[in-house]
């Protein structure tokens, strides 16, 4: 059993890593001019923490990353989109991972990415009162499958490397 101090230090390290990845990703210009489409590379860290330390620790790392990343790199409005999308993503990843008994992490990540985009769409509809934003749904779902697959594989390879340490 790890000491509470060690757990806090590990969570802080993963949160800092996720914030750094988010910051680097925010500097990459989006080649696709559709709101909401991004790589979601910081989710690699969420997946790693979920697999290694469980739901509680991954929720903590996610919450810290969303709060600080929104303050450092985004606008305050992005906090709401990220919080709802991130919460739905984490819940989906937790449930799918349990259903798949820890296998096929890329499928877990795909479901997480899809639910993240669903959360963002819900926030957009509520904030704008315009159901027309749902026109982006097919594009966001296609991008979620692609980016979820990539982040899931990256998390899987990272976990294999961490086992060797």
Burial readout 135-161 (b: 16 or more C-beta within 10 A, e: otherwise): ebeeebeebbeebbebbbebbbeeeee
Question: Is pLDDT of 38 > 70?
Answer: yes
pTM: 0.93
Range of the domain at 151: 4-164
Tens of pLDDT, residue by residue over 85-135, are 999 999 999 999 999 999 999 999 999 999 999 999 999 999 998 888 999
If DSSP codes are grouped into helix, strand and coil, which group holds residue 148?
helix
CATH number at residue 76: 1.10.1760.20
- For the chain, the domain total comes to 1
């Amino acid at each position: 059993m790890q000491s509470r101090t060690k757990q806090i230090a590990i969570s802080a390290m993963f949160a800092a890593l996720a914030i750094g990845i988010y910051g680097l990703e925010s500097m990459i210009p989006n080649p696709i001019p559709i709101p909401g489409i991004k790589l979601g590379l910081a989710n690699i860290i969420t997946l790693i923490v979920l697999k290694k330390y469980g739901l509680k620790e991954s929720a903590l790392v996610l919450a810290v990353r969303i709060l600080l990343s929104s303050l450092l790199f985004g606008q305050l409005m992005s906090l709401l989109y990220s919080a709802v999308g991130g919460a739905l993503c984490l819940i989906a990843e937790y449930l799918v991972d349990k259903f798949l008994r820890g296998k096929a992490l890329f499928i877990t990540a795909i479901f997480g990415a899809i639910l993240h985009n669903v959360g963002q769409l819900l926030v957009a509809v509520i904030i704008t009162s315009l159901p027309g934003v749902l026109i982006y749904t097919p594009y966001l779902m296609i991008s979620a499958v692609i980016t979820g697959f990539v982040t899931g594989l990256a998390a899987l390879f990272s976990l294999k490397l961490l086992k060797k340490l």
